[in-house]
Amino acid sequence: MTAFVALLARNRLALAGGVVLVCVVLLALAVPVLPLADPDVTNTAQRFQPPLSPGALLGTDHLGRDLLSRLLWGTRLSLAVGFAAAIAAATIGAAIGIVAGFYGGRTDNIIMRGVDMLMAFPYILLALAIVAALGPGLFNALIAVAAVNVPFFARNIRGITVGIAHKEFVDAARLAGLSNRRIILSEILPNVIPVIVIAMSTTIGWMILETAGLSFLGLGSQPPQADLGSMLGEARSALITNPHTSIVPGVMILIIVMSINLLGDGVRDALDPRLKSGALSRPMAATRVDRAQTPPPPSGAGLLEVAALETQFHVRNRVYRAVGGVDLHVRKGECLGIIGESGSGKSVTALSIMGLVASPPGVITGGAAYYDGHDLIGAPYGRLRDIRGRSVSYIFQDPLSTLHPLYRVGDQLIEAIRAHRPIGRAAGRAKAVELLRAVRIPNPEKRITDFPHEMSGGMRQRVGIAMALANDPDVIIADEPTTALDVTVQAQVLTILDDLRRSRGLAIIFITHDFGVVAQLCDRVGVMYAGRIVEEGLTSDILRAPRHPYTARLMACVPELGAGKRRLEAIPGLPPVVDNLPQGCAFADRCQQVQAACRRAGIPLERHGTHAVRCLYPVPQSQEATP
């Protein structure tokens, strides 16, 4: 709740709207105790007094009634009717929407077609028809305004409910023995209430206007009772001669509706989870770079070289050290595996190389990424753009979310090619077919006109690979490219990647959590834990004789096919959260060999030949494993 208020207060306009609205509401509530003239006493001798006349601060109307008093009493009434109508419409609309969305099928169809019919009438006609049937009067106007707004709520809430009704926790509740009625009340309703509040906050101003409109036409409040609409209606005939009688209620309506709308927008922004997570804030074109120290120079070890890379996420006053000093390199034709659990920083490392980490909140705070000896971090955006996709390209985990759903895969491939070199449509198409053939998509001439949703997961990932190959890159960074695929398809995709790097001399950085995949594809492997590489070396060495206790225990956790039914080794505890890393070894709390020295200070990555370990007490190499 305090977080909500803080979020709301950050939006200055919403805050201003809120303050104004609170003042108006307090004033309206205080009306009965204020020393005001009777709003309904006529005094024709004093009619059309201008504002600031003695005894009538805002003047008087055509019957000599005190305008200030009428304005405040009228505001009170209009607000009350508007809020009541909004609550009635929200309650009935939400109930209809939840029932339709939850039960679905025929119930949904019948209810929603009825709602559609209601929406087919212009709202004012419908309201007029309802008032005509019920007779004029403020209460009937309220009913009309509420009824007219029910469909809006019903449609909104139904959409949200359909999404929630298929969530797993609803199934779980059903299995826990909850009846449908209880599921609606205790599972669905708490999850749609924010949406109801958002919808109400954005429509309540509109409903006050509609009520005023009906009163203006003489169908709402009846004389002598004042509300803002009827005051405007009565002042209409004197609009030219005595404009203040119209301006006074008009300005009040403006103030109320503006403040409600500003506040409503603020409430919506503060409650909407998508806005809260910053999804709608536009990230910068390249990750922000803020390096305190000059990075180490390139060592020339590989085509792509990452040196002492540090990437952090700054979220409010917390600093998440996602990558805390990573060194790695990959040579032409080589495949480097990076293995680690979620949150170990493997993906952030990969994205940092090309400045693809979203900023805010991401910041690269140290290190360098040398491609062919030139630092990419902090490079001008034009140069980064030139290299992205042309020299270094990416393959992501989920091809369905990286391919545009509305364009044919061929067109997306051609676009990727044309982004880097001028090429005609026909030549582009020929190249696209050739690429699809290179990733062994059967019948590429025909599949080129498919939309992504028409392809299976394996075929889509092949298109993802084809896209990465479009400009003959030197380096491919593949971020869990086969995690979402079935095993038989995974084997095919891995073979394609392996053939490509051998035939084209590609350097591949392959990020995964699967030791089996690393063993089959990668020449070297780096194991990451809590943002750092803890062990690095030739794949065969590490898999045969891991030196870091984390690597050893992680390998023992993984069930291996062919070993039969058994109890698995588990690593107790959880990885540390990267906004609160321990001073010494990050794995110390889960390690069985931990000593006091492990916790004292940071531990360097010690290199012996091809093998590097970040551990003070590495697992001893067994006799037969030593080369």
* Contact set with other proteins (CB under 8 A): 167-169, 171-179, 182, 186-187, 190-191, 341-342, 440-442, 456-459, 462, 486-492, 494-495, 498, 513-517, 519-521, 543, 553-554, 557-572, 574-575
What distance in Å separates the CA atoms of residue 526 and residue 617, rounded to the nearest whole number?
19
Residue closer to other proteins (CB basis): 61 or 334: 334
For the CB of residue 306, give the shortest distance to other proteins in the complex, in Å.
24
240: Cα separation from own chain's centroid: 53
540: Cα separation from own chain's centroid: 41
Structure tokens at 491: 């084997």
For the CB of residue 203, give the shortest distance to other proteins in the complex, in Å.
24
For the CB of residue 540, give the shortest distance to other proteins in the complex, in Å.
9
For the CB of residue 34, give the shortest distance to other proteins in the complex, in Å.
42
Residue closer to other proteins (CB basis): 345 or 355: 345
For the CB of residue 391, give the shortest distance to other proteins in the complex, in Å.
26
For the CB of residue 113, give the shortest distance to other proteins in the complex, in Å.
13
For the CB of residue 453, give the shortest distance to other proteins in the complex, in Å.
15
What does DSSP say about strands 611-613 and 532-538: parallel, antiparallel, or unpaired?
antiparallel
Distances (CA, A) of 467 to 261, 421, 426: 46, 14, 17
Query: Is residue 247 classed as helix, strand or coil in its secondary structure?
Result: helix
The secondary structure element, H or E, covering residue 510 is strand 507-512
Residue closer to other proteins (CB basis): 171 or 445: 171
For the CB of residue 443, give the shortest distance to other proteins in the complex, in Å.
10
Amino acid, res. 360:
P
Residue closer to other proteins (CB basis): 191 or 621: 191
Contacts of 207 (CB under 8 A, 6+ apart): 82, 85, 86, 89, 145, 146, 149
Residue closer to other proteins (CB basis): 324 or 340: 340
Residue closer to other proteins (CB basis): 281 or 456: 456
For the CB of residue 144, give the shortest distance to other proteins in the complex, in Å.
35
For the CB of residue 518, give the shortest distance to other proteins in the complex, in Å.
8
Distances (CA, A) of 390 to 204, 280, 394, 428: 53, 29, 10, 15
Structure tokens at 211: 């009520």
Which of 429, 425, 356 lies closest to 394, judged by CA?
356
Structure tokens at 196: 């109801």
Residue closer to other proteins (CB basis): 169 or 617: 169
Which of 269, 278, 292, 272 lies closest to 359, judged by CA?
278
Residue closer to other proteins (CB basis): 13 or 519: 519
For the CB of residue 496, give the shortest distance to other proteins in the complex, in Å.
8
Contacts of 113 (CB under 8 A, 6+ apart): none
Residue closer to other proteins (CB basis): 72 or 463: 463
Residue closer to other proteins (CB basis): 146 or 484: 484
For the CB of residue 6, give the shortest distance to other proteins in the complex, in Å.
19
Structure tokens at 536: 């690095």
For the CB of residue 500, give the shortest distance to other proteins in the complex, in Å.
13
Residue closer to other proteins (CB basis): 136 or 194: 194
For the CB of residue 358, give the shortest distance to other proteins in the complex, in Å.
21
Residue 92, Cβ neighbours under 10 Å: how many? 16
Helix then strand then coil, in percent of the chain rounded to 5, is: 50, 15, 35
Residue closer to other proteins (CB basis): 168 or 624: 168
What distance in Å separates the CA atoms of residue 627 and residue 607, rounded to the nearest whole number?
16
Query: Is residue 615 classed as helix, strand or coil in its secondary structure?
Result: coil
The secondary structure element, H or E, covering residue 414 is helix 409-418
Residue closer to other proteins (CB basis): 13 or 555: 555
Contacts of 44 (CB under 8 A, 6+ apart): 63, 64
Inter-residue contact 311 to 349 (CB < 8 Å): yes
Q: Where in 9-146 does DSSP place strands (E)? A: none
Which of 369, 341, 373, 336 lies closest to 478, judged by CA?
336
Residue closer to other proteins (CB basis): 331 or 440: 440
Amino acid, res. 372:
D
**Number of residues written out for the chain:** 627
Range 368-394 burial, b when 16+ CB lie within 10 A, else e: bbbbeeebbbbbeeeebbebbbbbbbb
**Cα Rg, the chain, nearest whole Å:** 34
Query: Is residue 524 classed as helix, strand or coil in its secondary structure?
Result: strand
